[in-house]
A and B are shown apart, each in its own frame.
Chain A
Amino acid sequence: MSLLVDIEKDYGGFRLRARFETSGGITGLLGASGCGKSQTLRCIAGLQRPDRGRILLDGRVLFDSERRIDLPAQQRSVGYLFQSGALFPHMTVRNNILAGLHAVKDTAEKQRALRSALELLALEGLEDRLPGQLSGGQAQRAALARILVSRPRALLLDEPFSAVDSHLREQLQLDLLDLLRTFAGDVILVTHSRDEAYHMCSRIALMDAGCILTAGPVKQVFANPGSSLGARLTGCKNVAAARKAGPRAVLVPDWGVTLQTAAPVGDGAAAVGIRAHALRPDEPRNRMAVAFVGQVEEPFAWIVQVRTPGQRPGTPALWWRMAKGEKPPHMPEALGVAPEDVLVFDS
């Protein structure tokens, strides 16, 4: 149960340099649209050929430019779930799944596999429908059934929930999560949603402009995204340039404040990040005066935008996020942030 990817590909104006390793479980590939996530999956599946590098799945060489190995997609045993599902539109759900069972010659065995896949993905009763007659979630489940019956060693999920209605998305995520936990091989989930990455994955890799920024266990990466870009990708709203101002202090010129940190600050400190929910009216440390700018109401939370008195003109307002019940009746004059919530980055 391991996948090693170390590839480079020039797309003309865009350079993909993906290096990462997985060892079982669900790995998230999180990045903005166009950062090269899907291209990475396509290279792993054998749908695109990298210029250089190698791809190993469970020790088996799928691609190695030096040894001139490039297994065709058919021989890679890598399942690929497309954004759209990519079910054959002129075939029923049953025939779509049977297409995944083409290697099984025994008819009884084929039918058994078909029935158990229909049951596993709650598709019973839908087997005679055409893909056009399915909901987004049903289509994705049927597409996954078709993949699972072909017994892949790894699963690549390319933004599988983006075509699913948002109110059904979380249920589908939960259903798939249960299912994927029983899947023996590696799973890679490509997504631009940090919530999705957090819900589904045990490990994540952050990707930007064709490169992996950082990779690790999901909680660890969210706690310390490693760079200001990574901080933004994991949903950190307040990011600004900073420099060292003491052994455990950074100066943030954009905000006109100096912040104490929990960990020692390195000489290379270049940026600082504070998550919107880490700003608190009742936190006595790192107090900064703030003035109200605007607010956004979410179903279960408020986002209040504030500026500090010393904030540089033209820089974005600070975001302060709190649950509905926690909103104070009056706008506080100052907000604080715990030193351990001040994230410092070298880039």
Chain B
Amino acid sequence: MDWYPLWNSLRTAALACGAVFLLAVPAAYYAARLPRLLKGALDVVLTLPMVLPPTVVGYFLLMLFGARRPLGQFLAGFGIRVPMTWWAGVLAAAAVSFPLMYRTARGAFEAFDEDLAAAARTLGLSNTWVFWRVRMPLCRPGILAGAVLTFARALGEYGATSMIAGYTPGRTATIATTVYQLWRTDNEALAFRWVLVNLAISTAVLLAVNLLEQRERRRGP
């Protein structure tokens, strides 16, 4: 059995999760303090990838990074070709899983009791202190749960990936695309093995989410 799809899936999910974490957490932090109208508009845009079919997200990505599109041509000028590479898969997974991180993080930031920050300021504590010692510790369980969900979603990504990264054994193959390819070519036994691998990883991820949530409950408000 060629383990490349497992390695590629894990690497893709981890990189996508990391990138999304760095983008979505600050976005959620600032969105949580925007006026309602602006926040509503931003929410629609940032949540769309969650409700659109992944193939539509893939379509948009191709519209952006396709070889004959402006951005694609611009990148080609630096010798960078995006479609049909393994990191096009990272791009697809990140685009599709971004809303999960953004929404859970925003929920955590919005649930934060601003009186705690106000109390700290009247005690003379700096905003930086409040951010790292009060706001982050209290929002951390929600943010971590979001990160795990993001990882899980990125791991299971198929639709957008198949469009922009395709399926090339040993290059862009992930578990999801491999299962489909094996099934299509009547290799049911091998497909089943990959299904088991995927089940094991997904179960572990969801167990991690539950553990995080339990820890959050134990801390209590």
Contact = CB atoms under 8 A, between A and B. Distances in A.
A99 B123 contact: yes
B68 to A, nearest CB: 51
Interface in A42-80: 42, 45-47, 72-80
B138 A73 contact: no
Interface in B102-141: 113, 115-116, 118-126, 129, 133-134, 137-138
Nearest to A101: B123
Contacts of B118: 42, 45, 47, 73, 80, 82, 86
A80 B119 contact: yes
A147 B125 CA distance: 12
B184 interface: no
Contact of B121 (A72, A89, A132): A72
B77 interface: no
B123 A88 contact: no
Contacts of A130: 220
A78 B221 contact: no
B123 A100 contact: yes
Contact of A132 (B116, B134, B220): B220
B92 to A, nearest CB: 37
Given A90-B137, A90-B138, A82 B119 contact: yes
Chain A CB count within 10 A is highest, among B120, B124, B219, for B124
Given A86-B113, A89-B220, A90-B219, A80 B122 contact: yes
A136 to B, nearest CB: 14
Contact of B125 (A47, A79, A102): A102
B115 A89 contact: no
Interface residues of A, number: 30
Contacts of B138: 89-90
A121 to B, nearest CB: 16
Contacts of A46: 121-122
Chain B CB count within 10 A is highest, among A75, A84, A86, A143, for A86
A82 B125 contact: no
Contacts of A74: 121-122, 124-126
Contacts of A147: 122-123
Given A88-B116, A89-B138, A146 B121 contact: no
A315 B127 CA distance: 55
A103 B129 CA distance: 13
A40 to B, nearest CB: 15
Contacts of A150: 123-124
Contact of A79 (B113, B122, B129): B122
Nearest to B219: A90
Chain B CB count within 10 A is highest, among A47, A79, A150, for A47
A150 B122 CA distance: 9
Contacts of A90: 134, 137-138, 219
A146 B123 contact: yes
Chain B CB count within 10 A is highest, among A72, A74, A76, A80, for A74
A100 B125 CA distance: 8
A91 to B, nearest CB: 8
Nearest to A74: B124
A60 to B, nearest CB: 15
Given A89-B138, A130-B220, A99 B125 contact: yes
A74 B125 CA distance: 6
Nearest to B220: A132
Contacts of A42: 118
Nearest to B126: A74
B143 to A, nearest CB: 14
Nearest to A89: B221
Given A89-B138, A90-B137, A90-B219, A45 B125 contact: no
Nearest to B137: A90
A132 B221 contact: yes
A102 B129 contact: yes
A169 B119 CA distance: 22
Contacts of B119: 80, 82, 86, 143
A79 B121 CA distance: 10
A326 to B, nearest CB: 45
A217 to B, nearest CB: 28
B124 A103 contact: yes
B28 to A, nearest CB: 20
A100 B123 CA distance: 6
Interface in A184-215: none
B219 A45 contact: no
A209 B121 CA distance: 28
Nearest to A47: B118
Interface in A258-305: none
B150 to A, nearest CB: 24
Q: 5 nearest interchain CB pairs?
A: A86-B119, A73-B121, A80-B122, A86-B115, A132-B220
Given A86-B113, A86-B119, A102-B125, 6 more contacts: A75-B124, A86-B115, A99-B123, A99-B133, A130-B220, A152-B122
15 contacts: A45-B122, A47-B118, A73-B121, A73-B122, A74-B124, A74-B125, A78-B122, A82-B119, A84-B113, A86-B115, A86-B116, A86-B119, A88-B116, A88-B120, A143-B119
